[in-house]
Amino acid sequence: MGAFVRFCTALAVTKHLCVMSEWFKNGDDGSSVYIMDNDGKKFFDIAREKPEIGNLFNEAMASHSKQKIGDLVTSYPHIFDGLNSLVDVGGGTGTAAKIIADAFPSLRCTVLDLPHVVEKASESNSINVVAGDMFEKIPSADAILLNNVLHDWHGEDCVRILKRCKDAIEPRKDGSKVIVVDIIQDFENNNPKATETGFLFDILMMTSHGTKERTKQEWHDLIIGAGYSGYTIYPTRLGIDCVMELYP
């Protein structure tokens, strides 16, 4: 988790937290603390303009995915039963896709992300790399993975993303699904430290992107609002993230 710690403690990532009081008093235009402190630019704009920040972010997400997706494929292998293809939307440099492809050799994985991100991802016999925008088009597949993507976006954007995912798996064979890995704030875990960490991530999302971590009811509203027929929630051993299996 070294890269994740380096990212979370980097000055470029944390300095906006020092002006929260100004934002609370004057931030009435709907933007986040980060945007206010960076002359109107969003974090992902800065990450694209400054490769050192973008690379640090990609390394952090890769190290985080090693734990989360490693737990997913060992704890819930049935989620991948019958699947021949999967698209990791916002898949960064491909760490999650590689873990899944290694665990299920018959599953063809595709990494979708912005051009400047996937240029550092490697293709192989089991992994394709596609440069694109998830708001415009997602390649067709049996399953779509959204690994800690939706908490970066406001509700209306999340619905747009989920609808794009639904379009990508329909019409498909029986068993097609969208797999969401994200925090559920009020999920029962009997772990006070995990609950505290969830709230800290909520503050991080608020200050960085103007978004939030969501409760079970808020996730329900997003999923059903995007036209899905139902879903199943699974806890993870990490105690923070949950896995949601969404059905078209």
- Strands 108-113 vs 85-89: parallel, antiparallel or unpaired: parallel
Q: Is 151 a catalytic residue?
A: yes
pTM: 0.90
- Selected catalytic residue, list 16, 151, 209, 220: 151
Mean pLDDT estimate for the chain: 90
Instruction: Look at residue 48 in the predicted model and tell me its pLDDT.
Output: 87
- Domain assignment present for 5: no
Total structural domains in the chain? 1
Q: 135: burial class by Cβ within 10 Å (0-12, 13-18, 19+)?
A: exposed
CATH number of the domain residue 209 falls in: 3.40.50.150
- Domain assignment present for 199: yes
Nearest CA among 35, 36, 37 for reference residue 45: 35
In terms of residue numbers, what domain contains 70? Answer: 65-247
- Domain assignment present for 41: no
Average pLDDT over residues 101-123: 91
For 21-67, write each residue's pLDDT tens digit. Answer: 888 887 666 678 888 888 888 888 888 888 888 888 888 888 888 88
Question: Concatenated DSSP letters for 79-103?
Answer: GGTT--EEEEET-TTSHHHHHHHHH
Give percent above pLDDT 90 in the chain: 51
Treating both helix axes as pointing N-terminal to C-terminal, what angle do 51-75 and 2-9 enclose, rounded to 10 degrees?
140
With bands split at pLDDT 50, 70 and 90, how would you rate the model's confidence at 194? confident
- Domain assignment present for 14: no
90-99, 168-177, 195-204: the lowest-pLDDT one = 168-177
For residue 215, count other CB atoms closer than 10 A to its CB: 14
